[in-house]
Amino acid sequence: MWLPEYRLALAVWTALAPVAFVVLMLGVQAPNYGRFFSNQPREWFAPRSDVAWLIMESPNLVGAVMCLYWCAARAENTHGRPVRAESYVLVALFVVHYVNRALIYPLRMKNGQKRTSGFVTCISCVFCCCNSFFVLSGILKYDAARVPAASSVPFCGGLALWCIGFLGNIHADHVLRTLRQHANDAAYRIPYGGMYRFVSCPNYLFEIIEWSGFALAAWRVQAAWAFALWTTANLLPRAHRVHQWYMSEFDSAYAALNRRACVPFIF
Ligand SMILES: NC(=O)c1ccc[n+]([C@@H]2O[C@H](COP(=O)([O-])OP(=O)(O)OC[C@H]3O[C@@H](n4cnc5c(N)ncnc54)[C@H](OP(=O)(O)O)[C@@H]3O)[C@@H](O)[C@H]2O)c1
C-alpha cells in the first residue's frame, strides 16, 4: 500500500471508532461473549472461549512476525532511513501484550469451557488484522520517522503509562480469575481489592491506560492514537453494561459499594 492510500484508509478507520462508540452506547444487542452470551438461537460456529481468544488475538502476533520479517529484509522505512530502536521498543510492547492476551490469558481462563459467539470471534479477528496492520506498519514503515527519541518526554512518559496499564490490567484479570475455584467453575461473584474498590471494570480502565500510554510513546504516529480511541470506544460501553449487570445481579449489596463503571468518581 502506498503512503496516500495508507493515510486515507487510516482516516476512515479512525473515524469509525466514534461511530462504534455511539452504536455500542445505544445498547445495540449484538451477539456477545462472556456473561452476555447465550447461544440461543444456536450459531453454527460458537468456539470455546479460550479457543475464541486465540483466534481473535493471534493476528496481532502473526502481524508482528510478518512486520519484523519485512524489517529484517529491508531494514529501512518508506523514507529510506533505517528503522530506529524506538520503533522496535514499541513493537516489543505490542508483542508482550499480545503474548499474554492471545496465549497466556486463554490458557489460564476459568469459565467452565463456556462458548463465545462465532460472529464476535470473526469480527474481533478482522478488527485485530486491521488494527495490527495499521499500528505495526505505522510504527515500522509509514510513520517510523514520527516516533520520538527514547530520551523525549512523550516516549518516557508513555512507556511509564503503558507499564502501569499493563500491570494493572493483569492484576485486575487475576482478581477475577481467583474468584473461581477451579476450571469448571462458571459462577459470578463480587470482586474486591485493588481498583475494584472504585470501579466495576478496572481491567478495562487499565487496558485504556495501557494503549493511551502506547499512543503517547508513539507520539505522532496516528495509528497508535486510533488504537487508543478504538479501545476506549469498545470498552467504555461494555464497562457500562457490566456495571448495570452487577447492579441487577447483586442488587443493594452492590449498590452499597458505591462503585462507578470504569473511571473512578466519573463514569
Ligand atoms: N483492547 C480491547 O479493545 C479489548 C476488548 C475486549 C477485552 N479486552 C481485554 O481482555 C480481557 C478480558 O475481557 P473480558 O471482556 O472478557 O473481561 P470480563 O468480562 O471481565 O471477563 C474476564 C474473565 O473473568 C471472568 N469473570 C468476569 N467477571 C467475573 C465475576 N464477577 N466472577 C467470576 N468471574 C468473572 C470471565 O468469565 P466469563 O467468561 O464466564 O464471563 C472471564 O473469564 C480484559 O483484560 C480486557 O481489558 C480488551
Q: Which of 61, 64, 155, 70 has the alpha carbon at shortest distance from 104?
A: 61
With contact defined as beta carbons under 8 Å apart, do 144 and 80 qualify? no
Q: Whose CA is nearest to atom 18 of ligand 1?
A: 34
pLDDT score for 209: 98
CA of 44 to the centre of ligand 1 (A): 24
Q: What is the pLDDT along the chain (267 residues), one digit of tens a residue?
A: 888 999 999 999 999 999 999 999 987 766 677 888 876 667 788 999 999 999 999 999 999 999 888 877 776 666 777 889 999 999 999 999 999 999 999 999 998 688 999 999 999 999 999 999 999 999 999 999 999 999 999 999 999 999 999 999 999 999 999 999 998 899 999 999 999 999 999 999 999 999 999 999 999 999 999 999 999 999 999 999 999 999 999 999 999 999 999 999 999
Q: Is residue 266 part of a domain?
A: no
Core vs surface per residue 227-264: b (16+ CB within 10 A) or e: bbbbbbbbbbbbbbbbbeebbeeeeeebeeeebbbbee
- Going 113 to 177 to 92 to 204, the CA torsion angle's sign is positive
Lookup: cell for 92: 516489543
Q: Which atom of ligand 1 is the closest one to the Cα of 49?
A: 39
Is residue 267 a part of any domain in this protein?
A: no
Q: Is residue 91 part of a domain?
A: yes
Judged by DSSP in three states, 23 sits in helix
Residue 41: inside a domain? yes
Tell me how many helices (H) and strands (E) the chain has: 8, 0
Q: Which residues line ligand 1 (CB under 6 A)?
A: 34-35, 49, 109, 111, 114, 169, 173, 176, 179-180, 186, 188-189, 191, 203-204, 207, 231, 234-235
Q: How many CB atoms lie within 10 A of CB 111?
A: 21
Count how many domains the chain has: 1
pLDDT value of position 40: 63
* Residue 125 included in any domain: yes
- Which residue's alpha carbon is nearest to atom 27 within ligand 1? 176
Domain that holds residue 235: 3-255
- The verdict on residue 10 lying in a domain is yes
In a domain, 263, yes or no: no
